Structure 1
Amino acid sequence: MSTYLVTYDLNKETVRPKIVDEVKASAGWARLSESSYAIATSETVNQVYERFKKHLDDNDNFYVISIRRPYAGWGKKDVNDWLEKHLPH
């Protein structure tokens, strides 16, 4: 299973339910910030991008980035616990 950072800026939209629904369709996920999520999936980075691409417009910014340890940061306990469990060494 791989872990990816999914981050986006939907420049003209104010409602993001399709993107969030797509995040929640992943095997596992944690919300890192308003528009950044860590997801766990057996998909490749390109498969993840293709899954989300249908929800994007030409004016949006969207990235899928492979993440692993080491990492640094702090946030909510449930997010920290999720990262500890899902980020590979």
Structure 2
Amino acid sequence: MNTYLISYDMAGGGDYDALHEAIKAYGHWAHITESLFAVKSSLSAKEIRDDIWQYLPSGSRLIIVKSGTESAWSNVICTNEWLKKNL
């Protein structure tokens, strides 16, 4: 399984709860910043994008990135341990 970063800018009128529940449905996830999640999945970035996109209203932005080999962070919402283990 790979770790993917999901970043979005939701256009007005969107349902954050529905979007967040869809992301959390991947099972192994972390809420990193207000509009950035990480998930573990065997799906491709395109498949995750296609799944998540339906929860965003027209005019929104979405990017899915497969986690790389180096990362750094400060003052995130999730635990440092999750990021150390999974990014």
Q: Same fold (TM over 0.5)?
A: yes
Coordinate RMSD, CA, aligned: 1.8
Q: Map 1:1-89 onto structure 2 (within 5 A).
A: 1-13=1-13, 15-76=15-76, 78-87=78-87
The aligned length equals 87
Query: How many percent of aligned residue pairs carry the same amino acid?
Result: 24
Q: Give the CA deviation at 1:77.
A: 8.4
Gaps of 5+ in 2: none
Q: TM-score, normalised by structure 1?
A: 0.85
Deviations 1:43-87 (A, max 9, x none): 111110111121122211111111122111123585211111112
Flag structure 1 segments of 5+ consecutive residues without an equivalent: none
Cα deviation digits, residues 13-51 of structure 1 (max 9, x gap): 264111101111013111111111011111111110111
TM-score scaled to structure 2, two decimals? 0.86
* Aligned structure 1 segments of 4 or more residues deviating by more than 4 angstroms: none
